[in-house]
Amino acid sequence: MQANLRFLFAHPAHFIACGFGSGLSPWAPGTIGTLAAWVLYPLIRPHFSDLGFALFLLAAFVVGVFAAARTGRMLGVVDHGAIVWDEIVPFWLVLFLAPEGWLWQTAAFFLFRLFDIVKPQPARWIDTHVKTGLGVMSDDVIAAGYTVLVLAIAARLVG
């Protein structure tokens, strides 16, 4: 089955899992989903305290586990390319923890995409062995962790 506009609006889980439609991109849906996260972040973040945003991210992760599982089941592929909520929520976490400024955010974007594609351990193990909504979401959280670590080291070296 292919994800399309009809599928996107067939169930709220699909709308969420497919990143409000960004996952329907025929070209690099994961990258487009990450770009959508970057665009949405400054619209969402100001409405929360730090603790509130951390709780929002936790809730978005949990919702993503269920949305990805349902959407993957309906598409017949656990981690279908149209499912990009797993890029969106972890990239929001990266932006939340990254040093401020567009240069840092640009570096964060490229690092996150690199780690999401390369899948360093334990992300690769999760990606290949945990075929559930939790697995779909978790390997990208690992990519976010690597991204934040590299950014922290770079900020320390620069500062």
Nearest to 125 by CA among 115, 139, 114: 139
* 134: pLDDT strictly greater than 80: yes
**Which residues have a Cβ under 8 Å from the Cβ of 109 and sit 6 or more positions away?**
34, 35, 38, 91
pLDDT per residue over 65-124, tens digit each?
999 999 999 999 999 999 999 999 999 999 999 999 999 999 999 999 999 999 999 999
Residue 25 and residue 144: Cα distance in Å, rounded? 22
Query: Cα separation of 28 and 4, whole Å?
Result: 15
Residue 59 has pLDDT above 90, yes or no: yes
- pTM, two decimals, is 0.96
Summarize pLDDT for 136-159 with one digit per residue, the tens: 999 999 999 999 999 999 999 997
Counting the structural domains of the chain, the total is 1
Count CB-CB contacts under 10 A for residue 148.
20
Query: What secondary structure letter does DSSP report for 28?
Result: -
pLDDT recorded at residue 1: 60
- CA-to-CA separations, 91 to 2, 66, 134, 159, in angstroms, rounded: 25, 19, 17, 23
DSSP tag of 98: S
Sign of CA dihedral 73, 77, 78, 83: negative
Domain assignment of residue 28, given as a range:
5-158
Angle at the Cα of 60 (from 59 to 62), degrees rounded to 5?
Answer: 65
Can the peptide bond before residue 122 be classed as cis, meaning omega within 30 degrees of 0? yes
pLDDT (tens digit, 9 = 90+) per residue, 3-53?
788 888 899 999 999 999 999 999 999 999 999 999 999 999 999 999 999
Determine the pLDDT at residue 3: 77
